[in-house]
Each structure stands twice: as structure tokens, then as C-alpha cells.
């Protein structure tokens, strides 16, 4: 688990912007750092009830994130094409990051193995990074 006060692991993944099925561009955490706080909201799977509800809560709170210049990113192991369709269907107003090769969920120690005894997804987890990329909140501290 990424500990509060430590530098968040760097990563590069595809980013789904949601304007069309193929609205995909590269995302590198190190390039996003410095533009204000970053919220990484890991979720198990697009199109599921709980994940849709969670991401819609972020959508509905986006004004509050904008007030503090926070960048919000959902992140899952879904392919970016699926994430784009989901963004459109759920009317989400922030991008999704595709960790299709499962490297980021392992770096952040939020992998859920053997879901339905068949595959690995992301555990529902939120990390808040400051403008230097230092973790200010992680799932462990959020529970305390």
C-alpha cells in the first residue's frame, strides 16, 4: 500500500476521455503532477452497479474538486474502449485510466485476486496526491 507521506509510484497508461469510442491518449502520472491535487479512484469494473454509483458520486461532486484545482481520474483494469462507452452512458465528467495489464493496481497494492475465482480487478480505493505527487490520503488512512 502506498503510505501517506511517500511518493506515489509513477505509471503510464491509456486515458479514456469519453467523447467517443476511440477517445484514447497516453497518460503519465509524472506529467500530471504539479497541476494541483490528484485523486486516483480505483474501482473494480465499469458497468457494475456499485462502481457506477461511486463514479456518479464523483461526477456530482466535481464542482468541489474544481474549486481546489483537483484532477480526478477513475482507474480500473477495463480496456479504454469500454471505459469510453461507460463514460458516455453514465454521463461522467472526468477521464478513466486503463490499467489493462494490472501493473498499477499491483504498484498501489490494491489488486483483488480471484474475483469469482477467475480474474483480478482493482479493489475500491482512493488515493489523494498533492501537487508534488506525495500521498496525502490512502484507503488505510481514510478508514481511520
Catalytic residues: 51
- For residues 96 and 16, the answer to whether their CB atoms sit within 8 Å is yes
Q: Do 124 and 54 form a contact (C-beta atoms < 8 A)?
A: yes
Closest alpha carbon to 87 in 138, 38, 52: 52
80-90 helix and 49-60 helix, angle to the nearest 10 degrees? 60
Amino acid at each position: 500500500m502506498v503510505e501517506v507521506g511517500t511518493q506515489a509510484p509513477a505509471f503510464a497508461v491509456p486515458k479514456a476521455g469519453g467523447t467517443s469510442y476511440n477517445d484514447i491518449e497516453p497518460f503519465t502520472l509524472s506529467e500530471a503532477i504539479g497541476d494541483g491535487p490528484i485523486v486516483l479512484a480505483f474501482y473494480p469494473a465499469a458497468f457494475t452497479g456499485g462502481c457506477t454509483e461511486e463514479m456518479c458520486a464523483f461526477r456530482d461532486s466535481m464542482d468541489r474538486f474544481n474549486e481546489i484545482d483537483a484532477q480526478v481520474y477513475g482507474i480500473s483494469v477495463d480496456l479504454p474502449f469500454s471505459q469510453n462507452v461507460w463514460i458516455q452512458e453514465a454521463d461522467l465528467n472526468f477521464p478513466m485510466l486503463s490499467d489493462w495489464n494490472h501493473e498499477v493496481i499491483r504498484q498501489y497494492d490494491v489488486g483483488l485476486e480471484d474475483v469469482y475465482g477467475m480474474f483480478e480487478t482493482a479493489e475500491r480505493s482512493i488515493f489523494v496526491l498533492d501537487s508534488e505527487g506525495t500521498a496525502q490520503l490512502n484507503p488505510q488512512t481514510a478508514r481511520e
